[in-house]
Amino acid sequence: MKQTTNEQMASTSPTLEYLSNAKVRKAIVGKVKSSALQPSEWPMPVSETLLAQLHDLLCGMVFFSLITYVAVFGYLGLMFPTFPLMFVAPKLYKRVTDFLISLWLVLSPIFHGWLFNTRIRTFGDGMPVQGRNVIVLNHRTLLDWYYLWFTLVRGQRPLAALGRLKIVLKSSLRHIPAFGWAASMCRFIFLKRLWGSDRQYLTRQLENVTEDSSHHNILIFPEGTDYCPKSVASSARFARANNLPMYQHLLHPRVTGTVHTLKTLARHRNRFDTLVDMTVFYPDLEPKGKFIFTGKQPEQIWFLVRNIPASEIPGIDETDTPAEEDKKISQFIKDCWQRKEALLNQLTHREIQIPSSTWWEHDTCADHSMLFTCVVIFALIAPTVFAVALFHFRIVQLYSLLACCITVLVGFLFGGFDGLELRIRK
């Protein structure tokens, strides 16, 4: 393959905005690599023996069992007891629930690092350490959001970074026992994909999430769903109907919700600092949803990051009419997706050499070892104490039944704890 210098690549390929002129921020992520990542170093698919497959299956079962165990008993024993604070001390309620969810979000990368050999690499600018950030990420698989957690645990305050993470999700996910219930209590943003009903909820939830926070990370998937045959066909029909280019690696973004999010936060200058334009790429294996159960994990996962100050986004400055602002921001997002498509095409065909000093590798267990050890001990002991009490004391059994009934009732009457919290704020 023809070798080129970094300057030549940056001038011939606009997609290398993610990689060229990147500021090395050692405090953001893990070990900064000083040598260029050559195509020969990229992972290659390998055939596995039956023994290796059984090993992966065992690791997958252990991982899923641990995460589910902590989620179920952690919700009943730690998360749900904070519910009364929503009424009497709402600010304290937010802080406590953010802290509790951060424990579970940190546990997943730690367990993953113990059981699997996946290497998470970040290229370009890296995740901002602080600030009020909106992250836009392509939705290649069902697990993209999960691997994003790895990029947040290597900062100076990993618990705070994960506690401040709010993900925009489908509304049906809030009703998943334990997992969805906890996300609802922690003010994740759940959309029905019906703009008539989502608009007001999104506006109020964004205000609720950001009003008492000096730092936050709001994760949006503008594509709206993961990359699968059904969504690819739908995206292709949308492209043909609107005279748009056909994408091979992405879905066309549905920009209405993203535009509204950026404009809502921009109305309050202290609530939006940076748009984190992030692209996920799987060099060797795309982890489909079932892989988390079978233990089949990719060897490497790459995140390519470009940080864009809010002031540089067209239409954010509120000098145009609302219609013109929407048009400019929509075009800006579409341009970002065109860059992503060109970049992913180059990466897929290995037509690019990653410049030196632009990538970091995440070794989850290497940094913050004492903190993570304490997190693991607490997050395992506390649910275990509750689980033992559940099987031995009738009052704990009645409490657990009551907690589940109240959770289901709140979901039926208000759509979830997030809906009830917004109702209280009126």
pLDDT tens sequence across 330-384: 999 999 999 999 999 988 887 666 654 455 665 555 556 777 888 889 888 999 9
pTM of the full predicted structure?
A: 0.86
pLDDT in tens, 103-112: 999 888 888 8
Split at pLDDT 50, 70, 90, the class of 418 is very high
Does residue 291 carry a pLDDT above 70?
no
Q: Dump pLDDT digits (tens) for 373-416.
A: 888 898 889 999 999 999 999 999 999 999 999 999 999 999 99
Which pLDDT tens digit goes with each residue over 157-215?
Answer: 788 888 889 999 999 999 999 999 999 999 999 999 889 889 999 999 999 998 877 78
pLDDT for position 42: 57
Percent of the chain past pLDDT 70, that is, above it, reads 81
3-state helix/strand/coil string of the chain: CCCCCHHHHHHHCHHHHHCCCCCCCCCCCCEECCCCECHHHCCCCCCCCHHHHHHHHHHHHHHHHHHHHHHHHHHHHHHHHHCCHHHHCHHHHHHHHHHHHHHHHHHHHHHHHHHCCCEEEEEECCCCCCCEEEEEECCCCCCHHHHHHHHHCCCCCHHHHHHCEEEEEEHHHHHCCCHHHHHHHCCCEEECCCHHHHHHHHHHHHHHHHCCCCCEEEEECCCCCCCCHHHHHHHHHHHHHCCCCCCCCCCCCCCHHHHHHHHHHHCCHHHCCEEEEEEEECCCCCCCCCHHHHCCCCCEEEEEEEEEEHHHCCCCCCCCCHHHHHHHHHHHHHHHHHHHHHHHHHHHCCCCCECCCCEEEECCCCCCHHHHHHHHHHHHHHHHHHHHHHHHCHHHHHHHHHHHHHHHHHHHHHCCHHHHHHHHHC
